[in-house]
Amino acid sequence: MTLHRTINLDLDSPLLRVEALTKLYGARIGCADVSFDLYPGEVLGIVGESGSGKSTLLSCLAGHLACDEGRVLYRNRDVVTLSEPERRLLSRTEWAFVHQNPRDGLRMGVSAGGNVGERLMAVGARNYAAIRASATDWLGRVEIAAERIDDRPRQFSGGMQQRLQIARNLVTSPRLVFMDEPTGGLDVSVQARLLDLLRSLVRDMGLSVIIVTHDLAVARLLADRLMVMKDGRVIEQGLTDQVLDDPQHAYTQLLVSSVLQV
Ligand SMILES: Nc1ncnc2c1ncn2[C@@H]1O[C@H](COP(=O)(O)OP(=O)(O)OP(=O)(O)O)[C@@H](O)[C@H]1O
């Protein structure tokens, strides 16, 4: 099976098709009957208050959590039925996952350069000089000085750790990036800088992204389309400006107005 970067994408076909996805925790609904298409180069924001099912949905999509019902087709292949080695290969090559907490996405005992280089080695790179050059280049792209390449992530600030996690994830040029509250837990000024960086990387690389956030300002800045979740279900979806400027569902109206009042 070759999942690596040789295939041209059909821009008119969905990269990801999700059909009636359901995940239950016993009797409690994690997410229910979620369906959508994601096209190449699109950024989809999943918003909703705490407990609405955003993380559950993202975990099911990324294969971290087994769903109970439904299908997730990535380039027409059902990823729900992939074997574990196949899913791991996909996660290393075409997919990436940016966690809210950089500690979940970095190896804290490995140098910054090692964190980035390791991903290249995982997809077959063997030339040490080229790997180090690529890691240095990526540190620069996420605004980390080249002289910090041998430092461990724990010597970095929270914002730097998050930028390093982004470099580690993007160095292999994935097609689809899952992001779980990537700016959560950071100071407002650090958040703004990170958002700018993410926005330009997403645009420059033409990435397809599914981003979970409870922050509508983040959604506004990054997402082309939004899905609003409540009690595990999608209650509204559409273009970001449409959903935020003219919300149709009473719950979305409440979400939007509660932000505007702050
Ligand atoms: N491991 C679990 N066991 C049992 N119930 C769970 C588990 N994880 C989530 N849930 C429940 O599933 C529902 C959706 O939770 P989920 O964490 O997906 O929401 P969320 O929108 O991501 O919230 P937050 O923004 O707080 O992370 C909630 O009712 C939650 O209590």
Give the list of residues 6+ apart from residue 34 with CB closer than 8 angstroms, or none.
18, 20, 21, 22, 57, 70, 227, 233, 234
Position 12 scores a pLDDT of: 79
237 lines ligand 1 (CB under 6 A): no
| Same-domain status, 195 and 89 | yes
49 found inside a domain: yes
Q: Are 209 and 58 in contact (CB under 8 A)?
A: no
ipTM passes above 0.90:
yes
255 found inside a domain: yes
28 found inside a domain: no
184 lines ligand 1 (CB under 6 A): no
Atom nearest to 232 CA in ligand 1: 14
| Same-domain status, 169 and 239 | no
CA 114 to ligand 1 centroid distance, Å? 33
25 lines ligand 1 (CB under 6 A): yes
Nearest-angstrom CA–CA distance, 148 and 112: 7
The CATH number of whichever domain residue 195 belongs to comes to 3.40.50.300
| Same-domain status, 140 and 218 | no
13 found inside a domain: no
The residue from 173, 204, 223 where one domain ends is 173
Position 258 scores a pLDDT of: 85
Atom nearest to 52 CA in ligand 1: 21
Measured in degrees and rounded to the nearest 5, phi and psi for residue 100 equal -60, -45
72 found inside a domain: no
Among protein residues, the one with the nearest Cα to ligand 1's atom 14 is: 53
Degrees to nearest 5, angle at CA 77 with 96 and 102: 15
Q: Of 51, 90, 50, 73, which Cα lies nearest the Cα of 215? A: 50
Pure H helices in 82-234: 84-93, 102-105, 112-122, 128-141, 158-170, 188-205, 216-222
Strands (E), 13-111: 16-25, 28-38, 43-47, 69-74, 77-78, 95-98
CA dist list (Å): 45 to 10, 180, 233, 245 = 22, 10, 15, 15
| Same-domain status, 135 and 238 | no
| Same-domain status, 224 and 118 | no
| Same-domain status, 113 and 232 | no
| Same-domain status, 262 and 181 | yes
204 found inside a domain: yes
- DSSP symbol at 154: G
Residues of the chain with pLDDT under 70: 1-9, 260-262
The residue from 149, 173, 197 where one domain ends is 173
The residue from 134, 150, 173 where one domain ends is 173
Strand partners, 37: 17
Domain range enclosing 226: 38-67+80-94+176-262
Position 1 scores a pLDDT of: 37
| Same-domain status, 194 and 128 | no
Atom nearest to 212 CA in ligand 1: 22
| Same-domain status, 131 and 233 | no
| Same-domain status, 56 and 168 | no
Task: Please choose from 21, 56, 212, 229 the residue to mutate so as to test ligand 1's pocket, defined by most ligand atoms within 8 A of CB.
Answer: 56
CA 46 to ligand 1 centroid distance, Å? 14
52 lines ligand 1 (CB under 6 A): yes
The number of folded domains in the chain is 2
Task: Please choose from 22, 31, 55 the residue to mutate so as to test ligand 1's pocket, defined by most ligand atoms within 8 A of CB.
Answer: 55
| Same-domain status, 238 and 199 | yes
Measured in degrees and rounded to the nearest 5, phi and psi for residue 5 equal -85, 45
Q: Of 231, 202, 179, 207, which Cα lies nearest the Cα of 46? A: 179
CA dist list (Å): 55 to 64, 130, 184 = 11, 36, 13
